[in-house]
Amino acid sequence: ESQSYQKTKKKDSARDGKVMDPKTTEEDQVEPTAAIEHRSFARIGFLGNPSDVYFGRTISFTIANFWASVKLQPSRHLLINPHPFHDHVRFSSLHHLLDRLQNEGYYGGVRLLMAICKIFSNYCKDNAIQLHQGNFSLSYDTNIPRQTGLSGSSAIVSAALNCLLDFYNVRHLIKVQVRPNLVLSAEKELGIVAGLQDRVAQVYGGLVHMDFSKEHMDKLGHGIYSPMDISLLPPLHLIYAENPSDSGKVHSKVRQRWLEGDEFIISSMKEVGNLAEEGRIALLNKDHSKLVELMNRNFDIRRRMFGDECLGGMNIEMVEVARRVGAASKFTGSGGAVVVFCPEGPSQVKLLEEECRKSGFTMQEVKIARSCLNDSEIETL
């Protein structure tokens, strides 16, 4: 679960595989004091995605398989510490640098931490929330696989926001419903195109039904978010590629077509959003055969709207691998990983494992992460 850890002793750098902060200068050091650390989990879009950016509805949940953690340590100067791997700036050769850019891109997590600091500060200023003058250092670590549609970037931002809320003691002054907007604003600051679904899932944790209808968005500035009991979910599995090289290279024109009033896109996106409402009822009724139908239909509608060239051959193959053994499957996000439900149980799971092994895909049992909200925050909902 997401937690805030109050630490008074220095952690061993090897424990839990965490990366220790780079050394600070003597000038930066302050008297030892409690550090704050938060963990934000990867998320799976279960039903309704990608209708969240089209005034639709979704059901998503966080998984304990993967997470990002951010550590805030009070310090004399404000420091944003680069990660020794994800913010790599030292290379053995030009070839090493080019290979790195090809596989990892130009950006690590430092820019994400800087962006949420800016958005958080501006929000507090605009809403007359007083912040004390203390400084801090921020560092992060993550084990969320890249380009798998599991919301790795927003996990870092969400964890950092939680650290800032606690450091400045303003958690009670910023509504839970507003926090996903802050996370999304930080990413938009960097040109990342996304919707609220992932950020809601990671701010709330656990299983959440989300209604992004235009009426709510216009009136409240956010959707209606309803936590659900995680025990309603059946056993699920995750399939992803270790090296997602063919994850869809063609830019989607769906958004532009929707804005231009394309009837096929508008009606299809409405149909996708309705799947979340049908899924909510199916979960409450433990209607697993209905869930199979809804998961498969979610992907099929997405495929009709976006087209195979946009989705990418490897992503489609992950879905097809599951369907070949009779399992239900769909994207966890925009591609890169697939969530699978094997309604026939362990025997079907074994068949799926064998198919994934043949195809070179990684498969894991999904471990659901519980809500990360404390009791007082839950009461405010």
Write the pLDDT tens digit of every residue in 269-278. 999 999 999 9
DSSP class of residue 250 equals S
Taking residues 106-114, what's their average pLDDT? 84
The closest alpha carbon to 381, from 271, 164, 228, 169, belongs to 228
Distance in angstroms (rounded) separating the CA atoms of residues 323 and 346: 16
Distance in angstroms (rounded) separating the CA atoms of residues 111 and 160: 12
Residue type, 112: L
pLDDT recorded at residue 1: 36
Of 12, 198, 211, 287, which one is the catalytic site residue?
198
Residue 16, pLDDT above cutoff 60? no
> How does residue 19 score in pLDDT terms, banded at 50, 70 and 90?
very low
Q: Is-catalytic flag, 229?
A: no
pLDDT recorded at residue 28: 52
Residue 100, pLDDT above cutoff 50? yes
Distance in angstroms (rounded) separating the CA atoms of residues 98 and 232: 46
- What burial letters (b/e) apply to 321-351, b meaning 16+ CB within 10 Å? bbeebebbbbbbbbbbbbbbbbeeeeebbeb
pLDDT recorded at residue 20: 41
pLDDT recorded at residue 91: 80
pLDDT recorded at residue 104: 65
Distance in angstroms (rounded) separating the CA atoms of residues 298 and 363: 21
Q: Which residues, in sequence order, are CB contacts of 62 under 8 Å at separation 6+? A: 41, 42, 43, 44, 201, 202, 205, 206, 368, 369, 372
pLDDT recorded at residue 106: 60
Residue 378, pLDDT above cutoff 70? yes
Q: In the chain, what percentage of residues exceed pLDDT 90?
A: 75
Q: Is the domain 36-380 a CATH 3.30.230.120 member?
A: yes
> How does residue 146 score in pLDDT terms, banded at 50, 70 and 90?
confident
Distance in angstroms (rounded) separating the CA atoms of residues 372 and 366: 18
Q: What is the mean pLDDT of the chain?
A: 88
> How does residue 10 score in pLDDT terms, banded at 50, 70 and 90?
very low
In the structure encoding, which two tokens stand for residue 1, read together?
A: 């679960």
Residue 371, pLDDT above cutoff 50? yes
The residues with which 248 forms a beta bridge, in sequence order, are: none
Taking residues 322-334, what's their average pLDDT? 96
Q: Taking the domains of the chain in order of start, what are their residue ranges?
A: 36-380
Residue 363, pLDDT above cutoff 90? yes
